[in-house]
Amino acid sequence: MTRRSIRRAILLSAALIFLALMLGGCWRQTTPTPGNRCVGAGHWRSGQIWPVTPNVVTPGGAHVDTSGFTVDLADIDARVKAVAECFGATVQDACPVIKIAPGATRSCYGDYLLLPVGDSDPTGCLRKGQTPTPECPCRWRVLIQRDGSIAVPPDLYNLGDALARIFGHVDDPWLNDKTAKCALLGVRISKWSPPPEPMTTNPPQETPR
């Protein structure tokens, strides 16, 4: 083969590989699992606190591990759609996987729920005007786990924060007026109810980092 033929063959192979990656990419994925390429978040990942096994797929395409809670799936779809469209995206661009985290506690600063884990660095709470105390420790309202899943209490209050980080590919949506506006489309308290009977929940597997 001549050098020109070899070069042409290499370029053709590269083009075929690129096409295969595009066709198999996140936007084509219809049955995502935590950790695959369909989960488009690369920002603000914590440790893996809860294992995730989605048991519900919303009509809009979000995969949800309800942990036995009854949550408003239509509200999840509305938030995902609103935040995604605010960033010019669709649900297929990130295929969000949502874990309804057990063990949530009521916030000292409002009617919303907090995750039972938090950050040893109180900077985030102090920035909100909240001074952590033993009775009111600094805890997260939502987090993105290492596998890319979103862990959120059953009231879904701050789901918009994590959705903005995923669809907007930003580390902190609240530092910019435009991204904050998108995040706020997914921030509100949603109705929920606990599991119908006591159930064994998986305890945190490791401390966040």
Supply the pLDDT for residue 111. Answer: 87
Supply the pLDDT for residue 9. Answer: 62
Does residue 63 contact residue 57 with C-beta atoms inside 8 Å?
yes
pLDDT in tens, 36-80: 434 444 445 567 889 999 999 999 999 999 999 999 999 999 999
pLDDT in tens, 105-139: 999 888 899 999 887 788 888 887 888 888 888 88
Instruction: Using DSSP, state whether 60 is helix, strand or coil.
Output: coil
C-alpha distance from residue 153 to each of 16, 70, 137, 189 (Å): 44, 12, 16, 10
- Banded pLDDT at 93 (limits 50, 70, 90): confident
Apex CA 110: angle with CA 109 and CA 111, to 5°? Answer: 150
What amino acid occupies position 144? I
Alpha carbon distance 26, 186 (integer Å)? 22
What amino acid occupies position 203? P
Sketch the domain layout of the chain as residue ranges.
1-30, 33-193
